[in-house]
Structure 1
């Protein structure tokens, strides 16, 4: 509570170093990719990642209010030689670039903090004061593996309601159904103090820190 989301990035760097120290690891290695857990993480915006790894101007497809242009992103993927489908939404196209072109290359040599996600991909995160098209959301990567997802919590109940309505409109369009908004959540949000939060995949971190090559080797209980 009361912490800027950038402070979580510092916590992530410290946590990587702590995990490596506790296990005696000097390097994280996974599927031919290496990452130094003691090196200062790279900070890379999503827009810069799209430009560098896929040659796509992502923010050219995002309006000032955070709305997205599906046709513009579809054209950009087609020009870049990426496969698409006629019924792909903007979110589908975004995810395809992330999975095929960007995520496998992150966190090599040192950890990567991928930040400033488009608002459309950060439903519960605060908009950035620097650029309203993006939000205070980041993910942490090592060896091409996503380890954490953090963001500055959106506490503007009116803005959250607007986003929920957009989400339900899309669900109605695609699946022909919609759910009622969570009014209890929105009421609580209106009195919530500024805060930031993060979820970290401890099992994934344990896998990298111990040198395991599959997550089943570090899960404490068998998976059915």
Structure 2
């Protein structure tokens, strides 16, 4: 006799079950149409499609990015630690230094500690670069790609977790200063340090607490900034029409160049629809010494928080000194495919999802 409520639920059917695949297939076909349409748009705009390696000396040097490590074994048996990339950015910028001017890549990228409705440990990043172009040109690119994806996916209106967004509408441009004032009732500009000075978390913590946002005694400026963004601002973005959240504090844009007219802010924007971040773009930093300083600071923070650090890609830093002025954007293609196909979660638009932790493996 089974006691009510004590039996374990049956395991979910695998993705390759014919019934499960039949349910997912319309989303997957929509994804394929989007990829074809977007690839055609890039070709028509004069971009060159490139392919860069997934194995890298450094997976990226941001404190909260977590990578997968592996060992490369040479013919002589010598081992070298490498990482699966979290982005194709370093390799793409080396190609810009080599003389390419407009490139894009459908890159398989890998991020550890990430899985959920809109996160997956392996996903597709659509990344593109324009040498000699302002980052505002990438804002126009993003608007066009939203419309192309929606048309190819057959979804006239994006919907996600109770929010809707018109992908054909002109995106709203909202600065971080405006966003903090509108959605958190905070004066971000008054909390920023003078150019070149380190950010001070103390006044930011007091302002956050006054706005009803929790803080901890050891919070950094970046911790508080992220918490306000996630709790108060991001859920409001991309409602009705897409949002381009722009002009981040320079301390929150590790690979972006400062704005010439106000170096407290960086040439960075993120694209949102239905409260979901879709893309991250920079006017690219080309000062190798400043980039090294930022990377080292990020790795110091990573060591403090997680007890590990990733090496710097010295080849990348050497190439950066030869890279032309450029702007680049990274777009999460799976998330876009999810919204533009009407899928409920990211795994609905992945042909073969990564097996979850605890999955049974023979052998």
Structure 1 length as normaliser, TM-score?
0.93
Deviation of the 1:61 alpha carbon: 2.1
Q: Which moved further from structure 2: 206-215 or 169-178? A: 169-178
Check if 1:47 corresponds to 2:171. Answer: no
The counterpart of 2:157, out of the listed 8, 27, 43, is 27
Query: Separation in 1 of the partners of 2:275 and 2:331?
Result: 15
Deviation of the 1:78 alpha carbon: 0.9
- Which residue is equivalent to 1:15? 145
Deviation of the 1:172 alpha carbon: 5.6
Deviation of the 1:178 alpha carbon: 6.0
Query: Separation in 2 of the partners of 1:103 and 1:114?
Result: 9
Structure 2 alignment gaps of length 5 or more: 1-130, 356-363
Q: What does 1:1-224 correspond to in 2, within 5 Å?
A: 1-66=131-196, 67-171=198-302, 181-224=312-355
Instruction: Give deviations 1:93-132, integer Å, cap 9, x for gaps.
Output: 1110011001011000000000111111101101011210
Query: Separation in 2 of the partners of 1:170 and 1:137?
Result: 21
> Secondary structure of the equivalent of 2:264?
coil
Query: Separation in 1 of the partners of 2:174 and 2:321?
Result: 32
Larger Rg: 2
For the aligned residues, what is the CA RMSD? 1.7
Query: Separation in 1 of the partners of 2:181 and 2:133?
Result: 30
Deviation of the 1:58 alpha carbon: 1.5
Q: Which moved further from structure 2: 39-48 or 173-182? A: 173-182
Query: Separation in 1 of the partners of 2:305 and 2:158?
Result: 41
Query: Separation in 2 of the partners of 1:163 and 1:180?
Result: 13
Instruction: Give deviations 1:113-166, integer Å, cap 9, x for gaps.
Output: 001111111011010112101101110000001100111110011221332343
Q: Which structure: greater strand fraction?
A: 2
> Secondary structure of the equivalent of 1:146?
strand
Query: Separation in 1 of the partners of 2:279 and 2:351?
Result: 20
